[in-house]
Amino acid sequence: ITGNAEEAWAIYRDHKIDFVISEVDLPTGNGLAFLEQIRAQDRDIPFIYISRRTDRELIILAAPNASDGYVVKPFSENALLDSIREAWKRRKCDYTQNLNQMEDLASMDPARALDQLENKFGSTEQTARMFTLRGKILQRLKRLEEAKESLSHAVTVNPMYLVAKKNLADVMVETGEKDKAKTLYEEVVDISPMYKDCHVSLAKVYAEDQEFGKLKQLTDLYSSYFPKSTDLQMTVAEEL
């Protein structure tokens, strides 16, 4: 138990942790950035947000890095325990672990990963995450039209699954549909301004198109959410 993001990360790094419960708004940093750090190391550990906030952004705040839900304060002990049980069950189920294994395989052997994905699930699992994984694999294989189709299905299944929207925009950049990609990036940033990777991708498009007014607004927004990060500024410097 700790009160800020730096101490929490040090505890996670130095100890075996089985479950994380985090505030959305932390004294230093924010809960989304903390989750991003966690997911870079471990995609399977259950992670729940708690907060007094009930606004629309909070509802989809977890989407980019796949938290397992949130509990609004004040909450009862039973409500928290129920959320913990559901998060644990979801993270440890065979379906989630199979997809995680296929994501690992996709980075090394996308053709084999695609074959396994379709043999394992076929048309039985019509989830946004499955369609998104399939789209990302097809993108790696440069089967871009098929990738767009799969990612579009993911967005149809769950319009709030921002990972799918962002990945669809990435593919559209590759197919030369930059204006459509820009619209999707802007939608994602508008819905969840703490989706760091989408800021960076949108900044790259703005810089390429020399839309410096929009780039300045985006940079200011990014700095307000991620004051210690220079990822966006470095991307802009590379493009200019």
Distance, in Å, from the CA atom of 40 to the CA atom of 238, rounded to the nearest integer, reads: 24
pLDDT score, position 213: 95
Residue for token digits 């993001």?
A: 5
Beta carbons within 10 angstroms of residue 229's beta carbon: 15
pTM exceeds 0.75: no
pLDDT score, position 204: 93
- pLDDT per residue as tens, the chain (240 positions): 777 778 888 888 888 888 888 887 777 666 777 777 787 777 778 888 887 766 555 555 555 456 677 787 888 888 888 888 878 877 666 666 777 788 888 889 999 999 988 887 766 567 788 899 999 999 999 999 999 999 999 889 877 778 889 999 999 999 999 999 999 999 988 877 778 889 999 999 999 999 999 999 999 999 887 887 888 888 777 776
1-24 burial code (b ≥16 CB/10 A, e <16): eeeebeebbeebeeeeeeebbbbb
Phi and psi, residue 48, nearest 5°: -125, 140
Strand-pair category, 47-51 with 20-23: parallel
Q: How many alpha carbons fall within 13 Å on the CB side of residue 221? A: 19
Distance, in Å, from the CA atom of 90 to the CA atom of 67, rounded to the nearest integer, reads: 11
The separation between CA 8 and the C-alpha centre of its own chain, rounded to angstroms, equals: 20
